[in-house]
Amino acid sequence: MKFKALHAGLLAGLIAIGSPAFATDLVQAYRDALRQDAQLASARSQLSAARSRVPLARAGLLPNVNASASVNRQLVDTNIGPSQDFNSQSYVVAASLPLYRPQNWESFEQSKLSEKISEAQYAQAEQDLMLRVAQAYFDVLGAQDNLTTIRAQKRAISEQLASAKRNFEVGTATVTDQQEAQSRFDLTVAQELAIENDLDVKRATLALLVGKPIGTLYTLRSKVKLEGPQPAAENDWTENARQNSFYVQQALIGSELANREIARQRLANRPTLDLVAQLAHSVNPSASAMGINSNSGLIGVQLAMPLYTGGAIQARIGEAVANHEKALSDLEVARRSAEQAARQTFYGVRSGLAQVTALEAAERSSQLSLDSNLLGYQVGVRINIDVLNAQQQLFSTRRDLAKARYDVLVNGLRLESTAGTLSEEDLAKVAALLVAAPN
């Protein structure tokens, strides 16, 4: 997601400053996860295996040289002479060079397509890791905000409880005010324990991703201004997703691979032509006193032509055609899924921005409401429960506002991912909106 409010110079300056040793930066968390994430390591190994298949397929187009040797014990017994018992030896070097093997060329081209599919899968795995780290990072920040909110609410309720007790003792408040404040305080303590546990779980999830304990996280600027996605038109994002999503790219290359498999199977009806050469040396003692030693060599061409295979070639062609039709259907499914994901995420970002604007206004209104209720409570026109409700409303609004901002940032990254354009630079732009938490 392109945040217009973020100037490139500011981003460069923030990155150059670096991260305090005690804090875990969003970009650094991603880089740590790159080194140890098991899912990404699996995709990396798959890519390495796919790259190894390219020279393997190329070998079918290159010369093939083999050497063999044999030593045999032979016993010869005839009616015209004495029996012979001797060792025979032979040594052979044979070479062949494909001159016309069109199936091997297709296999070579297919191996390069398979490599491209694995590259797209690896790129998608990198984007998925980036989203997982960002989501886990902001989940921790959200849990921290929840804990800060509940503790602030707990302090406020504690003050109101103490005030209600004092007022009840002097007769200016009812026992209901005191009991209500006590009830709210006890409930807040229980909620605080649950939120502390949730924060521990989310921190453990992020630590598992980065492969080490996490320190203090950077927090979102309090007055941050979030802008909408660029380009601002929904159709631009859906079209980009249909064309550039890594899932679509995998399906597109897969359909081309399936089409080449049809051609490869049809070429099985073609003849093959190889250039062959051989050198041989044999030692074969016989009835003669001197024995027989021989050297021989040959060079020529070898033609092979399938005449009848029991219908196997036609069956393989039919199978390849069906697989190609399936691949084309899978491609359309991938395009529609990418388009729908882009549309939903785009709406999510736009809706989230509207929610942020509404919650910012609600925060201002809730603050004014709390101030009015505090003043009314002091002059006796408001009761304790009014103040407690106003406080809870303000704290809840601030928590919801922070979560809405986090959701906009994560959905912005996810929107970039649907179009296949998410990169570490985008993550760095989001990280630049965060600041080191105060000690």
Tell me whether residue 88 is in a domain.
no
φ, ψ of residue 410 to 5 degrees: the values are -65, -40
Question: How many structural domains compose the chain?
Answer: 1
Q: Is residue 421 part of a domain?
A: yes
47 in a structural domain = yes
Q: Would residue 332 count as lying in a domain?
A: yes
pLDDT in tens, the chain (439 residues): 443 333 333 333 333 334 444 578 999 999 999 999 999 999 999 999 999 999 999 999 999 999 999 988 877 776 666 777 778 889 999 999 999 999 999 999 999 999 999 999 999 999 999 999 999 999 999 999 999 888 888 887 787 777 777 776 777 666 777 777 788 888 889 999 999 999 999 999 999 999 988 889 999 887 788 888 888 899 999 999 999 999 999 999 999 999 999 999 999 999 999 999 999 998 876 645 456 788 889 999 999 999 998 999 999 999 999 999 999 999 999 999 999 999 999 999 999 999 999 999 998 998 998 888 888 878 777 766 777 778 888 888 988 999 999 999 999 999 999 999 999 999 999 999 998 876 5
Residue type for position 11 = L
Q: Which of 419, 40, 413, 411 is nearest to 248 (CA)?
A: 419
Q: What is the CATH number of the domain that holds 189?
A: 1.20.1600.10
In a domain, 121, yes or no: yes
Q: Contact at 8 Å (CB) between 206 and 136?
A: yes
In a domain, 278, yes or no: no
Measure Cα distances from 312 to 103, 222, 317, 318 in Å.
16, 70, 9, 10
Neighbours of 378 (CB within 10 A): 10
Residue 161 sits in which domain range?
8-63+101-269+312-435
Structure token pair of residue 376: 């009314």
**Tokens standing for 103?**
């199936």
Q: Which residue has the tokens 């890594």?
A: 246
The answer to whether residue 68 is domain-embedded is no
User: Does 290 fall in a domain?
Assistant: no
